[in-house]
Amino acid sequence: MGTMGSACVVGDLICVMGQLLPDCLSMTPTHVLSSPVVAGAVLDGLGWYEPLLKFAGATVPTLTAPVFHPRRCPPCPDAK
């Protein structure tokens, strides 16, 4: 599928769950923030994570290169 509508629906459902967790279950912010990570791990373990991403038309951003603070970045070997 992967339309803008399905991405909005899935994103809105995630936001609603994130709002209902502390309101209805009296969860702390730490628990609310870690819940999507645990849910993602469970969905991936069940094999449902990839179909959800395909339905929503979303991609998961990944860090492909180390991030350096400009002042802490080691000098380039070619720099003179």
- Percent composition of the chain: helix, strand, coil (DSSP 3-state, to 5): 60, 0, 40
Q: Tell me which amino acid residue 42 is.
A: V
Domain count, the chain: 1
Task: Check residue 74 and give its pLDDT.
Answer: 59
Domain of 17 in residue numbering reads as 1-80
Q: 15: part of which helix (H) or strand (E)?
A: helix 4-25
pLDDT digits (tens, 9 = 90+) for 14-45: 888 888 888 888 888 888 888 888 888 898 89
pLDDT digits (tens, 9 = 90+) for 47-79: 888 888 888 876 655 544 455 555 555 566 665
